[in-house]
Amino acid sequence: MTNDHALRRIKSFVLRAGRLSPRQKLGLETWLPDYQLTLGETPWDLTACFGRSADVVIELGFGMGQTLITMAQASPHINFLGIEVHQAGIGSLAAELHDHAIQNVRIAPYDAVDVLQRAIAPNALSGINIFFPDPWPKARHHKRRLIQPDFINLVLKKIKPGGFIHLATDWQEYAMHMLEVLAPNPDLLNKHPGGGFIPRPESRPLTKFEQRGMNLGHEVWDLLFTRK
């Protein structure tokens, strides 16, 4: 059973005040209302939220939003829900969605655990992408890591059978931790035939940050599991 109390108590992120660019401010103040979903007392009707019935994929922690924009443009038949708490990224994404007239993305500017617990109905998702979450490298901070058994069990309640969990990290020790969390779960199937990490799939865009790291010899580890 998912330990909901533990999920609520320990945050996987720290909000830091930062300066916003004029474009980010414009995105937050002018364009975000066009895309934002608001937490309420009942789960969202995702068909109504997007104005159509289609597979829904979450990107949890979309940063500045470039990966989400690229994926949404490449897969217009999929509804994408981006979750992020940092204002700069939320504003940037809202501005980009407006500029490119992208219709298949909605924004949830809240804690991901709150969204999953309160707003997503069981079996409502076709998949969830979590790319480069904070590795919290110090041992005393490992409890803050997002990828934990309780969190994965919560995600599994929201993903339909056959739906996927796609994780990526450039921190090797966290990659091994992720594998150790997902591999023993009886409700998950590793899509790598050998039970390990997969090459970066075409569906995950290569970011500028990732390309710079690769040029310096840094590795990236991808995991792709599906719900049985």
Which three-class secondary structure state does DSSP give residue 95? helix
In whole angstroms, give the CA distance from residue 70 to residue 188. Answer: 27
Phi, psi angle pair for 178, to nearest 5° = -60, -45
Residue type, position 161, single letter: P
In whole angstroms, give the CA distance from residue 28 to residue 87. Answer: 8
Pairing label, strands 56-60, 159-169: unpaired
Whether 222 is catalytic: no
In whole angstroms, give the CA distance from residue 73 to residue 108. Answer: 19
CA distances from 195 to 24, 150, 168 (A): 42, 21, 16
75 sits in which H/E element: none
Q: How is residue 46 written in tokens?
A: 């995702």
Give the rounded distance of the alpha carbon of 177 from its chain centre: 18
Alpha-carbon dihedral 90, 92, 95, 98, rounded to 10 degrees: -70
Query: Which position among 114, 134, 150, 170 bears the catalytic label?
Result: 134
The residues annotated as belonging to the active site are 134
